Each structure stands twice: as C-alpha cells, then as structure tokens.
Amino acid sequence: MRELLRFQPLYQERVWGGRALESALGRTLPPGEPIGESWEIVDRPEAQSIVEGGAFNGQSLASLLARHRADVMGPAWLAGKPFPILVKWLDCRERLSLQVHPPAAVAAELGGEPKTENWYIAETTPDAELIVGLKRGVTRAQFEQAIADHTVEQCVHRFRVAAGDSILVPSGQVHAIDAGNLILEIQQNSDTTYRVYDWGRVGLDGLARQLHVPESLRSIDWTAFEPAPLRAAPTSGVIADCAEFRIRRVVLGAGERVHLRGGEQPRLLSVVSGAVRAAPEGTGTRSPFGQKLRRGCNVLVPYAGAFTFSAEVMTILLLTEDFVG
C-alpha cells in the first residue's frame, strides 16, 4: 500500500464553536453554523471517516480495515476491531463545559467508554486558558458543595496557554477548554463525556444542556491535582506517552526531511504548522506521486507504506504512534 490515507472531515455543530477552522486552516465550512469540531479520523458506528482521493477514494475507514487490515494496521490486527484513535480539530470560541471521561475501571459500569486525550494548542487568544485537574487538596465533599453553590471554579486548576503548548488529559481527570483556543485533540476512540457543570449556559435550542453529575462524581480522579502542561519548544521530542498512544513532535526546517519506514507500525501524521511534500519512498518528493500536506492535514500512514516528508517551510508535525497493542 503506497498511499497516504486522507479523509473527508466531519464537521460538528457546537454551541461553543465558531468559524476559526475557515480562517486558521482554510477550510470551507457549512454556512452559518457554529462549528466546534472537525472529526478528522474516526471509526465509530455513528461516524465514519471516508477516504478522500487515491485508489481507495470513497471507502469508509471501517471497510478499508475489513478489506486491507494487514496492509493498514499490520498482520496482528484482529478482524472487526475498530480503529483505536479519534482525531479532532476543536474551535473553542467559547468555554466548554466542565467535564470528565470515565476511567476504564468504571466506564463499563456506567455504560460508557474511557477516553484519554491529548490537546495540542495550535492558536490562542492572548488570555486563553485551560482547566485541567483539581486544585491541590480539594476533596469530593468540597467539590459537590461547590456545584450546589455555583462556586466550582474555585476548585479546579486553571492555567494560561500559548501556541505550541500541549497537555495529556487521562480518563478521570476533570477538565474544560476555555474560550479562544484552537486545539488538535488526539484521543482514544470514544465519545463518552459526562458534564459536571456548564456555567449556566443553554444549548442551541435555548434549553439548559443535560448534566451528568452522579456519573461525573463517580468518574473523577480525586487525587489528580494541578497537572502541568508541556510548554512549546523549537525542538523535536515526545509530547505525550501513555498506554493508549505516544505522540512525537517533529520540527523541520525548510528542506529538511523525515522518513517513515514501512513494516513497523501504522502512524498518524498531523501538520500543525507549515507544510510538507509527501511521497512514497523511492519516488522522490517531487515525483508525480507526491502530494502537499498543508497545515491542518491529518493522514493515516499505513503499516505497509514507506514515505518521505520534506518541509517546504519551517514545519511542525505530530506523529501519533504505538496505538496498536
């Protein structure tokens, strides 16, 4: 398989969304709607990525895995197993709800799925912040009382962020994304979110959005205090390493290249700044098989494929690896 797999984005209307995916990433969005999420790579019953371009154009990710699972995922990949990672762009024009994803120990009991996720901050407004974890020493009893008193902001850990920062948010860690952030979220394949507090907001229908307080209180890790983000750096290195995936930041100067060998593992490549030209190994980056990947692109590099990526300008890539157990 000598093709990178690109997919059609699936845009999601959200009350807290905006139109930044147009201005920042050059996307064409559905007219008029506040778009909060672009699901870039997803394999779920309710949402399927569709291949865009190439020999597999129009095929769903699920059908691609069914027909070519060894080429895409490697010889050990089990038939019928869904793709394990979900990649999203988030345009947080307004603050998201305070929420939590259930850890594996309680997810099945609550009828949900665990979700560990990593946020890479692509753009921010000058005063943009994140909320991740509890303030040191906050107890469950104090937190429950704060929900009732509408003083929950006094219990959570808030910090400023800048473009290039990132943070790993494990299942069970209470969190919210503040207004003014454009984020690439790389996460477990899950869509279980429990809202514990929504700042008094109403949804697009004018009604208060559903809260999941009992489920949230059951899911929150009451020992997760004041995690620190990984700050932006001009060098390559690992920015997230957990049981579910590993993410490397790759910084390339103009003309520099990165080579991904085939037969090792599938990978996800995300262009978070700059642009690269990609081509299968041995064809040259300016061959007829080459293609340009601009900022915002997310592609699946199949197990069987070997590719060279050459930076056209100063470029930052994220490589997501080690998601095949």
Query: How many whole angstroms separate alpha carbon 16 and alpha carbon 94?
Result: 5
The answer to whether the beta carbons of residues 285 and 279 sit under 8 Å apart is yes
Query: How many whole angstroms separate alpha carbon 238 and alpha carbon 172?
Result: 23
The residue among 248, 245, 240, 262 whose CA lies nearest residue 322 is 245
Beta-carbon contacts of 90 under 8 Å, excluding residues fewer than 6 positions away, are: 36, 37, 119, 177, 181, 182, 183, 184, 185
DSSP-assigned letters across all residues of 155-198: GEEEEE--TT-EEEE-TT--EEEPTTEEEEEEEES----EEEE-
- Active-site entry in 2, 14, 93, 195: 195
What values do phi and psi take at 247, rounded to 5?
-120, 130
Residue 261 known to be catalytic: no
Neighbouring C-beta atoms of residue 59, cutoff 10 Å: 20
Active site residues: 195
